[in-house]
Amino acid sequence: MVIKRTKFTRLLTSEDYLDITLFSDRGKIIKFALNYRAVIKDKIPPIYRVDNYHGFLHEQKLWITNKPIPLNEAGLTNNEIVDKYVDKICMNFYKYKEYYINSLKDKK
């Protein structure tokens, strides 16, 4: 088994970033992390994350909690899960950013 690590950032807007880290063997994704972050008040905090680190698939909605929320994607390969959640993040990142900004207001 030869594990290849691929890491890159997809620019969603000039202030919104999707960091993608993949560990694969012959095109099959074994482990991955998808991290959405955005410029907010001159900082770039993480806002939403999906990964299968720690032995299980989960998401983190960082406007709510840092704790992992388990996901059930039974029947999907890791490649399909990555495709699904990249699409989900690309379609919803404006909402996620708004939720995060609102959670900052709630903490004041």
User: Which range of residues forms the domain containing residue 101?
Assistant: 4-106
Residue 72 has pLDDT above 90, yes or no: yes
pLDDT score of 1: 77
Of 61, 69, 65, 70, the closest CA to residue 95 belongs to 61
Structurally, the chain folds into a number of domains equal to 1
Look up the pTM and report it: 0.93
Between strands 4-13 and 28-38, the pairing is unpaired
DSSP label at residue 61 = E
pLDDT score of 77: 97
pLDDT tens sequence across 32-63: 999 999 999 999 999 999 999 988 999 999 99
Residue 85 has pLDDT above 80, yes or no: yes
Mean local confidence (pLDDT), 91-100: 97
Mean local confidence (pLDDT), 25-35: 96
